[in-house]
Amino acid sequence: MSNRDLILLLEDMLESALKIKRYTTNLDYDSFLNDDKTIDAVVRNFEIIGEAANRIDPDFRAMYSEIKWNRIRGFRNRIVHDYFGIDYEIVWTIIENDLENLIGQIESVISNS
């Protein structure tokens, strides 16, 4: 994988994470649940993050093991294949607890690549 391709995938991940952050800023969980457009947009951007993570070379992922690549990829698979429906409480928990950290990690990887 070329460095250019890698950077593009990381930028896709970052752009989607920032969109999720923007879409959910000033929302609480109940507001999120009652906004179908935001749910659809957030889920779609999580799909993009997971798909991009899946395409990143495994050796590169190993160099940045602080990023939870397998969890990101697994979450994407759950969303795409809709195993027993999407649990929006999990989606919201990821937004609240993990998204900001992921944004910082991706920004750091991009600046070091």
81 as an active site residue: the answer is yes
Which pTM value belongs to this model?
Answer: 0.91
CA-to-CA distance for 106 and 13, rounded, in angstroms? 8
Q: 61 by DSSP, 3-state: which? A: helix
Give me the pLDDT at residue 80, please. Answer: 79
Backbone angles phi, psi at 75, to 5 degrees: -65, -40
55 as an active site residue: the answer is no
Give me the pLDDT at residue 1, please. Answer: 63
- List the catalytic residue out of 22, 61, 73, 81: 81
CA-to-CA distance for 106 and 113, rounded, in angstroms? 10
Give me the pLDDT at residue 13, please. Answer: 98
- List the catalytic residue out of 22, 71, 73, 76: 76
Chunked mean pLDDT (size 10), the chain, 113 residues: 86 99 98 97 96 94 94 86 81 96 97 89
Give me the pLDDT at residue 83, please. Answer: 57
In one letter, which amino acid is 48?
I
